[in-house]
C-alpha cells in the first residue's frame, strides 16, 4: 500500500506529466527497433527487460535557478541511491535503470546543463561500474553502428543511470589518456568482479575485454611517451 502526504500529492501533480512523457519516449523509442539503428533489436537492448521486470525507476530533479555545483550534487546523490535500491542481484539487478528527468531547463541550454553535468560526473559514476547517459533533443552523439543515427535525442532532458555492459567500452575511449586509463581500469574491474562474480553474468564477447586491455596499455604508453618528451625539453 502506498501512502501519500498532502505535500507529496502536490509534488506528484507537478511531476506526473514529465514522468509520463519520459516513460512514453522510453517505451516507444528506446525499447523498440529503429530502421536507422544499424543493427537488429531495440535501440537499447536492455530496456525492454528492465520494463518487463519492473526494475526501471524514474525521478524528477530541478535545475531552474540552481547553481551548476548544486545541480551536479543533486545528480551525484543518485549514484548511491541506484546502488542501494533493489533489485540487488541477478539479471534484474544488472539491467535495472534509473531515469532522472530534468524538465524545467530551456532546450537551448540543455547541452550546457545536461552534457556539462554528465562530463563533470562521468568519472564519479564510472568508478562504481555505472554509466551516466545524457539525453536531450539536440544531443548529437552518434550511434555506435550508424554515425547518422542519434540515439541520445529525447523528447525531454534527462539522465539515465545503469550498470556497465560489455559493449560500453566504446564510450570509455576518452581523448585524455589519464581519463581513458581511469575509465578502462574501472570497466575491467567491473567486468571481472561485479559483472562476472556478483551478478553471475557470463561475458559473451571476450574481444571487448581484450580491446579494453589493449587500449589501456596504449594509453599508458602515450603518457610515458609524453613524459619522456617533456623531460627532454625541460
Task: For 152-184, write each residue's pLDDT tens digit.
Answer: 999 999 999 999 999 999 999 999 999 999 999
Quick: pLDDT tens for 214-229.
Answer: 999 999 999 999 888 8
Percent of the chain past pLDDT 90, that is, above it, reads: 77
Residues 89 and 199: beta-carbon distance below 8 Å: yes
Q: What is the DSSP letter of 32?
A: S
Contact indicator for 137, 196 with CB cutoff of 8 Å: no
The confidence band for 234, taking pLDDT boundaries of 50, 70 and 90, is low
The whole-angstrom separation of Cα 79 and Cα 117 is 14
Position 154 scores a pLDDT of 95
Nearest-angstrom CA–CA distance, 202 and 94:
12
Average pLDDT value for the chain: 93
Task: Answer with the residue of higher pLDDT: 203 or 116.
Answer: 116
Q: Which of 174, 31, 13 is nearest to 97 (CA)?
A: 31
User: Measuring CA to CA, which residue among 216, 140, 130 is closest to residue 173?
Assistant: 216
**Which residues, 6 or more positions from 6, have their beta carbon under 8 angstroms from its beta carbon?**
none
pTM for the whole structure: 0.93
Looking up cell 550534487 gives: 73
**CA pair distance 162, 76, nearest whole angstrom:** 13
pLDDT at res. 3: 92
The reported pLDDT for the residue numbered 193 is 85
- The domain segmentation of the chain, as residue ranges, is 1-163, 166-234
Amino acid at each position: 500500500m502506498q501512502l501519500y502526504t498532502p505535500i507529496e500529492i502536490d509534488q506528484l501533480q507537478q511531476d506526473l506529466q514529465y514522468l509520463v512523457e519520459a516513460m512514453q519516449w522510453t517505451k516507444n523509442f528506446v525499447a523498440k527497433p529503429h530502421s536507422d539503428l544499424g543493427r537488429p533489436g531495440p535501440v537499447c537492448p536492455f530496456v525492454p527487460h528492465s520494463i518487463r521486470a519492473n526494475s526501471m525507476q524514474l525521478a524528477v530533479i530541478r535545475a531552474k535557478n540552481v547553481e551548476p555545483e548544486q545541480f551536479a550534487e543533486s545528480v551525484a546523490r543518485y549514484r548511491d541511491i541506484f546502488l542501494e535500491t533493489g533489485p540487488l542481484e541477478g539479471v534484474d539487478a544488472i539491467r535495472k535503470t534509473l531515469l532522472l528527468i530534468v524538465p524545467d531547463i530551456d532546450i537551448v541550454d540543455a547541452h550546457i546543463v545536461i552534457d556539462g553535468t554528465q562530463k563533470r560526473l562521468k568519472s564519479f559514476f564510472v568508478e562504481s561500474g555505472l554509466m551516466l547517459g545524457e539525453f536531450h533533443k539536440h544531443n548529437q552523439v552518434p550511434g555506435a553502428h550508424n554515425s547518422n543515427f542519434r540515439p541520445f535525442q529525447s523528447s525531454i532532458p534527462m539522465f539515465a543511470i545503469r550498470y556497465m555492459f560489455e559493449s560500453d567500452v566504446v564510450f570509455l575511449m576518452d581523448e585524455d589518456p589519464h581519463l581513458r586509463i581511469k575509465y578502462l581500469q574501472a570497466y575491467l574491474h567491473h567486468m571481472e568482479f561485479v559483472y562476472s562474480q556478483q551478478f553471475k553474468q557470463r561475458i559473451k564477447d571476450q574481444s571487448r575485454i581484450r580491446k579494453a586491455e589493449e587500449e589501456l596499455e596504449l594509453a599508458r604508453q602515450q603518457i610515458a611517451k609524453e613524459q619522456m618528451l617533456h623531460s627532454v625539453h625541460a
